Homo-oligomer: A and B are copies of this chain.
Amino acid sequence: MGRIGAYRDGLMPPTPNALPSARPSRVIVEAVAPVVDGGAFPAKATLGELVTVLADVFADGHDRAAAALRVRQGATPWRELPMEPLGNDRFAATFVPDALGRWQYQVVGWLDHLGTWRHGMELKLEAEVDVTVDLQIGAALVAAAQAAASGADADALATLHDRLDAGDASALRRAPHHSIDDPDGRIPDHDDTAPEDHGPDELDALFWRAGIRERLAELPHPLEIEIDPVRARFSSWYEFFPRSAVAPDTAPATLADALDRLDYVAAMGFDVLYIPPVHPIGLTQRKGRNNTTTPTPDDVGSPWAIGAPEGGHTSVHPELGTADDVVTLADGCRQRGMELALDIAFQCTPDHPWVTEHPEWFAHRPDGSIQYAENPPKKYQDIYPLDFESSDWQGLWTALADVIRFWIEHGVTVFRVDNPHTKAFAFWQWCIAAIRGDHPEAIFLAEAFTRPRVMERLAKIGFNQSYTYFTWRQSSWEIRQYFDDLSQRTVDSFRPNVWPNTPDILTEQLQTGGPSMFAIRAILAATLSPAWGVYGPAFELQEHLPMRAGSEEYLDSEKYQLREWDLRRPDSLAPLLGRLNRIRREQPALQHLRTLHFHEASTPAVLCYSKTDPAGEAAPVLVVVNLDARQRQQVVVDVDLKQLGLPYDIAYDVHDHLTGATRRWHGSHNPVDLDPWAFPAHVFTVEAVR
């Protein structure tokens, strides 16, 4: 929490003995959520998502506080929603953002004199004490509200006033519970904090609307929330190298050829196609096959070695095609319900035009040479990092942002950013804000595998999605600990995009676990995280040989050479990927992270977790995964029924969307039998038997 919730006079004033110049509000507004670093950074949500804003609102003494949420997009007028009490001084209201870009929200609180009075009246009437003077007090409060109201509210208050004035206490009789919420907003059903007493009725709503609001308390400044496209939260990514051939072809492929593979990708249900850099590749210090430093003339080099005499970051490798081919490919993706994602890798080979045009953008060594990339003692002489402390940092920053703008003009709105953590944070904060200011549909995925605070910072300063440690979280306790953190502590700013493999990461698990391990990791990724991806066809074809023992690099990696893939192989996992993506699309519960909850299983070899639909409409999903690719597990899972919205002692059906089978469970403890050689997991929807 931030300076949020402080009195406006906050810290001790310079003349501490001086009285405030005006009488401060008696109401406190604090502990507002969502909030990122006290409001220093916007929170994140997506178009059409339910955004529930919470706040502590209270006053001294026995007086009741009322609260409203105000929201607006950009500079549009504020819209006001009632906040409902959840108990313990916590209030909530939910809004549904209907436009992309930066929204603001503010919580205001005031003394609810009418509500305080009514509550006291109810207690006195119940105790049958004399309320003659109290009715006069109420009549005066109602008269004041009526004088400030208009329309139907004024009429209702006038009627109420007359009844109170005539000593008619029955005017206060409480109607059955009726939400004062508006049709747009809704408190999630799964919140387990009970309201302090019976819910508000029509009279409360009238008092909320028409009560005199003196000395509003509010946050010192509105909070911000960035509304992203749905794909920033919920998306399935597929990566391939367009230059590799697909059997029966053997010749190097082009961007035009990649068009022919879109149906294959779309059929698996992916909605983002990500391709590595398409730019000219340097010759100087070019790496050979398997990352050797002795290339042969026919070695194609790494796509991340960007820059050659043919051009740099806004050029396309002549052997791949042209910038127009990128436009065509992006269009082809969109026709199939997908988006094309390009790779933004801000680094240069010694052959990049910028090296001669802008030598000041690179650091120089005492011997006059340009400083190459290194991670001591490793040296990457084929790569020059850009110097973010350059004397011409403004020129450099502008040029880099212009690269992204160039590709946006060529129909690309999704960018996978290579190693963003080796560039200045302030650059990204400026660059992403500037570009998304014009193009709020743009999505940036941070490919940073580094220390936690650095990865979290990149998310806070604007990246819409982030790569994670998922690949290295393999035991059940590692996965629980990591995803509890992702779904709770950092959920307002850091959106995980989890990958079982990448061209850089072939874990030992995949090297040795056989096809079942590929299935296990895909199921985990696709159901734990709303965003996931695979590097294919290496993934579905279970490419698993490392360059050498102990390495996570692929043998004969596509990063350094052309490959030829046979997509028709009968053992391909493409059908499983397709099924997983279909389940994800059908089940809203899987499209969110915040409701992830782990359940206990009788062995750590089995992981059990659920997700619920934040809107409370779709069925809960319960996933049970055997993490052991070698061993059948017959276990008991202990289902936290409350988390699934199930009463105790009820029967419920669990329907497995992987196999199509349904069975009936009772109570919390139920047996599960998972054979990795058959099917290593269940992805259940849960339905109570009424």
Q: CB within 8 Å of B: which residues of A?
A: 1-7, 9-13, 16-17, 19-20, 23-26, 28, 30-31, 37-42, 56, 58, 60-62, 88-89, 102, 119-121, 123-124, 126-127, 129, 133, 136-137, 140, 224, 365-367, 369, 374-377, 379, 388-389, 393-394, 397-398, 421-426, 429-430, 433-434, 437-438, 451-454, 457
Assembled-state Cα–Cα distance A102/B374 (Å): 47
Minimum C-beta distance from A114 to chain B (A) = 15
Residue of B nearest to A395 (CB): B19
In the complex the two chains form, what is the Cα distance from A89 to B453 in whole Å? 7
The smallest C-beta distance from A588 to any residue of chain B, in angstroms, reads 31
With A3-B3, A133-B365 already in contact, 5 other A-B pairs whose C-beta atoms are closer than 8 Å: A2-B39, A2-B40, A4-B40, A16-B437, A129-B379
Q: How far is the CB of A141 from chain B (nearest CB, A)?
A: 11
Interface contact A366-B133, CB-CB below 8 Å: yes
Residue of B26, B119, B394 touching A425 (CB-CB under 8 A) = B26
Interface contact B137-A454, CB-CB below 8 Å: no
A630 shortest CB reach to chain B, Å: 33
Q: Which residue of the partner chain, among B16, B38, B56, contacts A434 with CB atoms under 8 Å?
A: B16
CB distance from A224 to the nearest CB of B (A): 6
- A24–B133 Cα gap in the complex (Å)? 65
Chain B residues with CB under 8 Å of A62's CB are 375, 422
A453 vs B457: C-alpha distance when bound (angstroms): 30
Q: What are the 10 closest A-B residue pairs judged by CB atoms, nearest first?
A: A6-B40, A127-B377, A2-B38, A2-B2, A24-B426, A38-B38, A123-B376, A16-B437, A120-B376, A136-B366
Measured between beta carbons, the chain B residues less than 8 angstroms from A379 are 129
Looking at the assembled complex, report how far the CB atom of A197 sits from the nearest CB atom of chain B, in whole angstroms. Answer: 14
- Cβ contact of A454, chosen from B2, B20, B60, B376, cutoff 8 A: B60
The answer to whether B377 and A124 have CB atoms under 8 Å apart is yes
Q: A16-B433, A389-B26 are in contact. Are A3 and B426 (CB under 8 A)?
A: no
Within 8 Å by CB of A451, from B5, B58, B433, lies B58
Partner of A366, one of B31, B41, B137, B388: B137
Shortest C-beta distance, A109 to chain B (Å), equals 12
- CB proximity of A305 to chain B, nearest CB, Å: 19
Contact present for B376 and A28 (CB under 8 Å):
no
**Alpha-carbon separation in the docked complex, A38 to B30 (Å):** 11
What distance in Å separates the Cβ of A547 from its nearest Cβ neighbour in chain B? 20
Q: Is the CB of B367 within 8 A of A3?
A: no
A437 partner, pick from B17, B37, B377, beta carbons under 8 A? B17
Shortest beta-carbon distance, A467 to chain B, in Å? Answer: 16
Is the Cβ of B452 less than 8 Å from the Cβ of A88? yes
Cβ–Cβ < 8 Å partners of A41 in chain B? 6, 11
User: Quick one: which of A6, A102, A379, A457 has the most chain B CB within 10 A?
Assistant: A6
CB-defined contacts of A88 to chain B, threshold 8 Å: 451-453
Which B-chain residue is minimally distant from A41 (CB atoms)?
A: B6
Given contacts A20-B426, A38-B1, A434-B16, contact A377 B126 (CB under 8 A): yes
**Which residues on the B side are within 8 Å of A4 (C-beta)?**
2, 37-38, 40
Inter-chain contact B60/A421, CB cutoff 8 Å? yes
- Could you show 18 A-B contacts with beta carbons less than 8 Å apart? A5-B40, A13-B433, A19-B394, A26-B424, A28-B425, A31-B453, A58-B451, A58-B454, A60-B388, A60-B422, A60-B424, A61-B423, A88-B452, A89-B454, A120-B374, A133-B365, A133-B366, A133-B369
Instruction: State the CA gap A133–B364 with chains docked (Å).
Output: 11
Residue of B nearest to A196 (CB): B451
A102 interface neighbour in B12, B40, B224, Cβ under 8 Å = B12
- Centre residue among A12, A41, A102, A394 by max chain B CB count within 10 A: A12
Are B2 and A37 touching (Cβ within 8 A)?
A: yes
Given contacts A1-B2, A4-B37, A20-B426, contact A58 B366 (CB under 8 A): no
Cβ contacts under 8 Å, A388 to chain B:
26, 60
Chain B minimum-CB-distance residue to A5: B37
Distance in angstroms from A671 CB to nearest chain B CB is 30
A2 and B5 alpha carbons, distance in the complex (Å) = 11
Query: What is the CB-to-nearest-CB distance from A186 to chain B, in angstroms, rounded to a whole number?
Result: 24
Closest CB-CB distance, A19 to chain B, in whole Å? 5
Contacts of A30 in B (CB 8 A): 37, 453, 457
User: Whole-angstrom distance between the alpha carbons of A20 and B427 in the complex?
Assistant: 9
- Contact status B377-A123, CB under 8 Å: yes
Instruction: State A102–B25 Cα separation when bound (angstroms).
Output: 25
Cα A3 to Cα B129 in complex, Å, equals 51
A454 — which chain B residues lie within 8 A by C-beta? 58, 60, 89
Quick one: closest B residue to A117, CB to CB?
B376
